Structure 1
Amino acid sequence: MNFKKFFANIFIVFIFLILFISLTFLEVSAKSPSSYYIKNTTRPTKLYIVSLSKMTDSEKTMIVTLQGQVNNTSTSQIYTLSAGEPDYEIWLNDLKSNYDVKYEMVEDPWLLLDKFKNSINGYVLYSKNSKTDPSINNACSLAALKKSIAIDKSIEEKVKSKGITKLNGDCSNTDKYWAYNNLWNKGLNHSIAVQLSPNKTGPLRDYAIMSKALVFYEDMPSDFSLRDKVFGSMKKDSICLGWGPNEFHNVVEASKYGVNVIPSDWSYNLTLLSSFPSIPLTQNSGTKALKEDNVHYVTFVMSDGDNQQWNLGKNYSSPKWYGSKDRGNFNMGWAMTPSLYDLAPTVLKLYYKNASSGMNSDNFIVSPSGNGYMYPSKFDKAALDMQVKSLNTYMKNVDQKYVAILDDWALDNISVWNKYTEQPNIHGLFYLNFSKQNDYKGKIIWSNNKPIVSCRDLLWSSLEDNNTLINKINGYVNSGFTDINDPNAYTFVYVHAWSKTMADVQSVVNKLNKNSKIRIVTPDEFMQHVSENVKH
C-alpha cells in the first residue's frame, strides 16, 4: 500500500469536509439574523398543560418560574393557558399536529412542582404586600441566578412540605433598586432586561428566568432613577421586554440608551415557543402590480403589530382582526414584530401560512420601528448603525421589504433614514408621527432613491371615522389627485386596532370600490407604484 498517497487522500477529504462544514455554517448564518434573544436550546417532545386562570397569584409565580427553569433542560416541558388569551390553544394544537409534540392536562399545579422539584436547587422568598411591592421582581431576578423558583411567603410552608429548600436571599421588604444594586454584575444578562409591573404574577416571568434577565419596574412615569441605571448599563442595541409607565417617555428613555422596547408584559410560554428553529419564510405572493394612469392608490395597515402579546394572545383568531371573516376580501397590510422570528417561530409561520394571496392579499411589513419599538431620531447613533444591519438580514429572512417607523416630528431627518435605506433589503419606510400618526398628511420624501411615505389618513374612532375617511378619499379623487406621478395620488391609511376592526375596513373598502378611480392595494404594491411613478 502506498501510505503517502493514502494519507494524502485522507488529508484532501478532510480539507473538503472542513470547507463543506464552513460553507454550510455560512449559509445558515446568512439565513439567520443576528439574534437579540436567548432561545431555548431544548425542543420539547411532551408538554404538561396547566391553566393559570385556576391558580392564586402566588401559585402562578411559582409555576412560571418553575417553567423558566425546567423548559431549557428537559424535553418534558410546561405550557400554560390563560383566560383571555385564546390563541395559545391554537399554538398548542399546531405543535401537536405539525411538530409531533404530545401533551397532557394537569389540573393541580402542585403536581407539577412534585414532578419537577429535582430540576431546581430550591426557592427564594418574597412577600407581595401590595400590588406595587417590588420584592416579586427581585426574587425572580435572584431565582434566575440560583436555578430556583420564586415563592411568596403565603405558600412557603406548603413548598417546604414538598422537601424544597429555601436558599439564601430573602427578597421580602426589598426596594425596587435591590436587584440592580446587588445582582446586575453577578451574572445577569446585559442584552435583555424585563420591565414588568409587580402586579403581573404570571406572564413573561418564565422567559426572564431562562434568559437570566433583570426584572424591574418603576411605578411613577416621571421617575427614571432606576430606568436610567438599567438602560444606561445595557449593551448597545439591546432589548427590553415588557412595558413601562407612560408610553412616550418610557420609549424615549430607552431609545436614548439604544434599547428597543418589545411590548410583551402579557406574553406567555416564550421559553417553550422559542425552542423551535427560526427558519426563513416567504410571503404568499399576490397579483403583480399593474401600472394604471388616472387612479388614486390607497393602502391600509393595521396598527399595533409591534405588540408581541397581541400577536401571540388575541390577534390571530379574533373576528376583529386577523381571524376576521372579511380578511381576504381586500388587500391589507399587517405590521409584525420581528421578535416572533426568534421567540415564537411556529407562530410566525402560521401567520404566513394562512395569509390571503391572489387578487386580495395579506402583506406583512416590519412593525415600528424595526427590531423593536423605539424612536430612531432619538436612538443612540452607534446602536442604530448596529440595528439597521441586523434588520436588513431579518427582512431577507422573512421576505419583507418595508418598515413602519414611529417617531417624534422626524420625517425630514434624512440622515436618520439614510441609515435604513442604505440597506439592500429595506426598500422604503412608512412614517407615523407619535403626536398624531397622520401629522404629515401623506408627505413623501426620498432617501437613497427610496420612498419615505407618511401616513395621510386614519381609521380611528374620535379622530377619523368610517364616513369621514370615505369622504376624504373620494374628495382626493374629485380634486384631481389621480395623476400617478403626483404624491397626492397616494393615501396610506393607518387602522387603529383598539377602536376599529376588519369589519370597519371592509365597510370603507366597499364604498371606496364604487369609485372607479380608487385602487386598494397592499403596502408592497403601493410602494412599488410610488417608487416607479412619483417624480423625485
Structure 2
Amino acid sequence: MANISALPPDQKRLLVTLQGIVNRTQPRIYLIWRPDDRFWLRQMQKQGQTGTPIRVKQPLSLVRIFRGDIRGAVIPDPKVYISPDIAVDIAAVDRLVVATPALARQLNVPIKVDLRGRFKNDAEALRYLRTRLAPRMNPLLFLCLDPELLADGAEDQIIAARGMTFWVTGPREQRKPGAETAGEKQQIEKLFAATPLDGVVRGFWWNGDGVGLGESEGVKLASEFGKVTVVSNHVHNLSVFSGVRLATLRQKFAPPPPLDRSKVYLSLTVSDGDNLNTWQNFFWRWFKSPYHGKFAVGWAMGPTLIDVAPTLAEWYYRHAGPEDEFIGGVSGIGYIYPSVWAERTDHPHAALQHFYRWTGDYLRRMDMRTFRTHQAFTPDNQDAMQDIAQAAAALPQVRFFMPDYGYAGEQGYHRITYSLPSGQMVFRAATNWTLDKAEEIPYLVQQIRAHVGATRPAFVNVFVLNWAMGMHRLYLLLKALGPGYVDVTPSQLNTLYREAHAAPSVDVRASTGIVIER
C-alpha cells in the first residue's frame, strides 16, 4: 500500500500503469488517492479478502520492488494530445510503465518505446491502435478516457486485462495538438466494427462541457456497435477489487404496508448508480447518514459491480436494511440506448434479445427484481413504450419495470403508471430535476402532485438525481409532501399496485349480510 495523493501527475500515471502490470497475475499494489481508498481497504480486511497491508513510505520505490514485472518505459508525445492513451495501450501489451524521459532516467528504467514524433495527429495514433495493437489486446474491453485523467487511477484494471484505451476529442479540445474529432471517431467506428458484440466501454465519453464526444453521442456510438458503456472514469484500485470472487448477493426484502386507498405511494429511486465511482466515493456517505433507514429508497446500481468491485457491492448489501432496495442501473447490464442497439451490426434484434438475457443473468446474481431502462433516441413516446414492452417480452421473469432517466413527457398518470398485456407493470419516471438545490424539493413536490392529481390510490416512481440530493434532503421532500404520501421500495410499490387493481374477492358474512371487498 502506498499513499500517492501528494505526488505530481506524471508520477501518479507511472504508478497506476505499474499497478496494472503487477496486479495482472495477483493483486499486490494498492494505491491511496483519497481517504475513501483507506476505507475500502479496511473493508477488504473485514471481509477476509486480504491481510494486513505492507506500507511503502516512498511510493516510487514500488518501481524498484517490482522491477522484474516490467520491461521498461514508454514515452508519450506531448505534441499529440491522445498520445498518452496510446502509451497506456503499449504499456498493457509490452509490460511497460508510462513515463516522462526525466522520470525514466530518475528511476533507471530503460526507454523501450518513444512515441515522440511517431504520429502526426490523434487519428493516426488511433489507427495504430486499431491496426497494430488491437490484434494483441482484449477485444471485449475498452477504456474511453481523457488523457488528462490518466493520472487519476481508472486504467489499472484495464491494463491488467489488456483492454484498449482511447479518447475522442470534443469541440473545446480542437486546439489541442493533433485533435480532429471526425478522424478520431472514424477510427473508433472501424475498431468497434472489427471487434465482437457485447464489448464493454469503461471510463466515460465526456469530461466537461465540450470535452469529449459527449454522453449522448458516445453512448449512442457504442450502442450502435453493440458495446455497453460502464461509467468508471474516476475509480481506483479496480485491479485489486476485481481479484475478489463473489457469486451472488441477497437483499432484505420486506412486505409492504397495508394498502390505504386514500394514499399516494412513492418509490424514491436514486440515479447514477451505474457509475461505479458513485459506490466508491459517494453513496457510502449516504449510508452513514443518520437519516438512512428512516424511509424507503430504491438505489439504481450497475449490476457489474459484483464482478468489478465485489468488496463494495457486499458492503452495501450488508449495510442495507429492508427499507433499501437495489435495482439494476440504467439500461440493464450496462448503459445503452435500446432504440439504436447494434443497428450497425448484422442482427440487431437478436443482439438486443441477447443483451436482455445477459441483463437477466446479472439481475439474478444481484437479487434485483427490476431495472431502469433508458429511452433516449426514441422518436416519440409511442416508440419509447414499444421499447419498454420489448424489454418486458425479453424478460418475462421481471414483474415490473422502472424506465427513464427523468420524466420523458408523457401526459397523464395512466401513461406513467400502467400494466402491459403480459401483466408486467411499468412505473415510468414522474419527475425531472433542477441543479438549483434551493428549488429542487419544491420542484419535485410540484411535479408529483401535478401528475397524480386527484387519483387515489396512486403509485409513482419518483426519479431522484443523486448529484442534487442526499438523505436529509429526501427526508425533507417526504416531509414537504405530507402524510398523504407514503414512501415504499420499488417492489412494495409493485405489490401495492397489484393489490389495488386486482379483481376484488367477495366475502358474504351470513350473520350480517354485509358484502366486503378485499
Matched AA of 1:205:
E
Contact 2:331–2:373 (CA under 8 A) maintained in structure 1? yes
Counterpart position of 1:444:
417
Instruction: Using the TM superposition, give the Cα deviation of residue 152 of structure 1 relative to its aligned residue in structure 2, in angstroms.
Output: 2.0
**What is the aligned counterpart of 1:412 among 361, 382, 387?**
382
**What is the aligned counterpart of 1:469 among 444, 447, 458?**
444
**What is the aligned counterpart of 1:166 among 104, 107, 111?**
111
Equivalent residue runs for 1:418-437 within 5 Å: 418-421=389-392, 422-432=394-404, 437=407
Counterpart position of 2:20:
68
**Higher mean displacement: 419-428 or 463-472:** 463-472
Contact 1:369–1:404 (CA under 8 A) maintained in structure 2? yes
Q: Give unmatched runs, 5+ long, in structure 1.
A: 1-48
Q: Distance in 2 between matches of 1:80 and 1:121?
A: 21
Instruction: Using the TM superposition, give the Cα deviation of residue 220 of structure 1 relative to its aligned residue in structure 2, in angstroms.
Output: 1.9
For the pair 1:508 / 2:477, whether they are aligned, the reply is: yes
Matched AA of 1:81:
I
Q: Give secondary structure in 1 for the equivalent of 2:2.
A: strand
Q: Give secondary structure in 1 for the equivalent of 2:14.
A: helix
Q: Give unmatched runs, 5+ long, in structure 2.
A: 172-180, 206-211, 343-347, 504-518
Instruction: Using the TM superposition, give the Cα deviation of residue 458 of structure 1 relative to its aligned residue in structure 2, in angstroms.
Output: 3.6
For the pair 1:364 / 2:323, whether they are aligned, the reply is: no
For the pair 1:275 / 2:225, whether they are aligned, the reply is: no
C-alpha offsets along residues 211-252 of structure 1, whole Å, 9 cap, x if unaligned? 111111011266422332233233112100011121111111
Contact 2:249–2:314 (CA under 8 A) maintained in structure 1? yes
Q: Distance in 1 between matches of 2:498 and 2:36?
A: 38
Instruction: Using the TM superposition, give the Cα deviation of residue 534 of structure 1 relative to its aligned residue in structure 2, in angstroms.
Output: 4.1
Counterpart position of 2:366:
398
- Structure 2 CA distance for partners of 1:136 and 1:402, relative to 1, 3 Å: same
- Structure 2 CA distance for partners of 1:458 and 1:505, relative to 1, 3 Å: farther
Contact 1:243–1:263 (CA under 8 A) maintained in structure 2? yes
- Structure 2 CA distance for partners of 1:180 and 1:475, relative to 1, 3 Å: closer
Q: Give secondary structure in 2 for the equivalent of 1:53.
A: coil
For the pair 1:307 / 2:281, whether they are aligned, the reply is: no
Contact 1:87–1:314 (CA under 8 A) maintained in structure 2? no
Tell me how many residue pairs correspond in the alignment.
Answer: 464
- Structure 2 CA distance for partners of 1:217 and 1:461, relative to 1, 3 Å: closer
Counterpart position of 2:186:
225
Counterpart position of 1:350:
315
Equivalent residue runs for 1:293-304 within 5 Å: 293-304=261-272
Counterpart position of 1:25:
none
Counterpart position of 2:29:
78
| TM-score of the superposed pair, with normalisation by structure 2 | 0.83
C-alpha offsets along residues 364-420 of structure 1, whole Å, 9 cap, x if unaligned? 100101111111111112332221111111111111011112222465335533443
Q: Distance in 2 between matches of 1:299 and 1:438?
A: 17
Instruction: Using the TM superposition, give the Cα deviation of residue 306 of structure 1 relative to its aligned residue in structure 2, in angstroms.
Output: 1.3
Counterpart position of 2:122:
176
Q: Distance in 2 between matches of 1:425 and 1:128?
A: 53
Q: Give secondary structure in 1 for the equivalent of 2:331.
A: coil
**Higher mean displacement: 206-215 or 421-430:** 421-430
C-alpha offsets along residues 409-447 of structure 1, whole Å, 9 cap, x if unaligned? 4653355334432324422221215xx534225523444
Counterpart position of 2:508:
none
Counterpart position of 1:497:
466
| TM-score of the superposed pair, with normalisation by structure 1 | 0.81
Q: Distance in 2 between matches of 1:472 and 1:423?
A: 31
Matched AA of 2:9:
D
Task: Tell me how large the CA RMSD over aligned residues is.
Answer: 2.4
**% identical aligned pairs:** 22
Counterpart position of 1:238:
199
Equivalent residue runs for 1:9-48 within 5 Å: none
- Structure 2 CA distance for partners of 1:534 and 1:192, relative to 1, 3 Å: farther
Contact 2:339–2:387 (CA under 8 A) maintained in structure 1? yes
Q: Give secondary structure in 1 for the equivalent of 2:469.
A: coil
Matched AA of 1:499:
A
Contact 1:139–1:171 (CA under 8 A) maintained in structure 2? no
